[in-house]
Amino acid sequence: MDQTNPATTLSHQHVSFPDGLQLDCGFHLAPVDVAYRTYGTLSPARDNAILVCHALTGDQYVADPHPLTGKPGWWGRMVGPGLPIDTDRFFVICINVLGGCMGTTGPRSLRVNEDGTEEPWGTDFPAITIRDMVRAQHLLVAHMGIDRLLAVVGGSMGGMQVLEWCATYPEQVFAAMPIATSPFHSAQNIAFNEVSRQAIFADPQWHGGRYWECNEIPARGLAVARMMAHITYLSEAALTRKFGRRVRTTPGRGAAGGPGALFGEMFEVESYLRHQGSTFVRRFDANSYLTITRAMDYFDLGAEHDGDMSRPFQGTRTRFCIISFSSDWLFPTSQARLLARALNQVAANVSFVEIDSDKGHDAFLLDEPDFDRTIRGFLCGAAEHAGIG
């Protein structure tokens, strides 16, 4: 394994569960490490906990600097003292998902072979589902002595985890905020994920998924996968406003505004995507990317109920606030409405808000005052109804 990559040796706050857990695929994974971060103070009654679930390329560093990149937490504008998810009032937990690469057991974790040697799981890591991720999170929440979460909040793949929490542990979720998500992964989104996976497979440094044996990583393929995915997170309006058709000139290789050399100049949007790809490979593992995107593809709340998406929520007492964004074409408002209708069919306590925004899917990570007010208002209302001062 490449010990020059700090991601392979970095130590994260975690709890180890020797008994592990049974996966949906039938494999018993043990032991299981669950890495996490917490913010704020757990009340004596242990009733003020909010679980924030991260998206595909996120991790547990939601509100403090990332240990690899040094960048601020991915939702630092939302989680903190006095912010919409107020750590002066709530105890916030964020957990690296099962299959991830920031301390929770995943493809980069070591396993013991029959001969007693250790090596990373790699592509031998078992197939996991969103429900498996939630089961691993539940191990940690129970370990903390928390019987009921005040709220579970998450966007994109994080929203899938929110819904799975409500379906799998309905009595342990008082309020839920699935944001920019869907009760299933669409054919279009599965197609985008497959293109990203094929980019990784096509990289000469992929080595059948055992790239650590050659002290390499499939950096080009993983960067292209990130570039491909990042396009889907933005809207045309956002790309036009930020980049337009502006050209970035490489000195000595063509002038802006003219044809120049074939690769002498880059449109600013190209430069942006290349930067996104190159920085991503420094903090993420290719096998984790493959594992997690496949888990997203498997997600379909109605699959075990003859397509009926309401049945997983039958009898639920959880309070729901579903949020979508008008320009999100990855998880469009139409899919959020399907979820709202399913919850209405079982008489759930549900509100639905579409935020008018031209920022695309990533709007939930950006400055959107109406969104901030919605989160703050819903969580304060939930705390009031739960009897939390």
Binding residues for substrate: 226, 362
Helix, strand or coil, per DSSP, at residue 86 = strand
Rg (CA), the chain: 21
Q: Which amino acid is at 164?
A: E
Structure tokens at 48: 């003020």
Q: How far is CA 24 from CA 68, 70, 181, 352, in A?
A: 32, 36, 22, 31
CA 374/CA 21 separation, integer angstroms: 36
Backbone angles phi, psi at 9, to 5 degrees: -120, -10
Tokens 């040094």 correspond to what residue?
A: 70
How far from 325 is each of 30, 220, 243, 268, 363, CA to CA, in Å?
39, 32, 21, 26, 7
Output the known binding site: 226, 362
Look at the block and give the residue holding tokens 């050659």: 214
Write b or e for each residue in 89-98: b if 16 or more Cβ atoms lie within 10 A of its Cβ, otherwise e.
bbbbbbbbbb
122 token code pair: 């790699």
Q: Tell me the three state secondary structure of residue 234.
A: coil
Cβ atoms of 361 and 325 closer than 8 Å: yes
246 dihedral zone (left: phi>0; alpha: psi -120 to 50; beta): beta
Report the catalytic residues.
156, 328, 361
259: which residues sit within 8 A by CB, 6+ positions away?
Answer: none
What is the helix (H) or strand (E) element at residue 321, kind and residue range?
A: strand 319-325
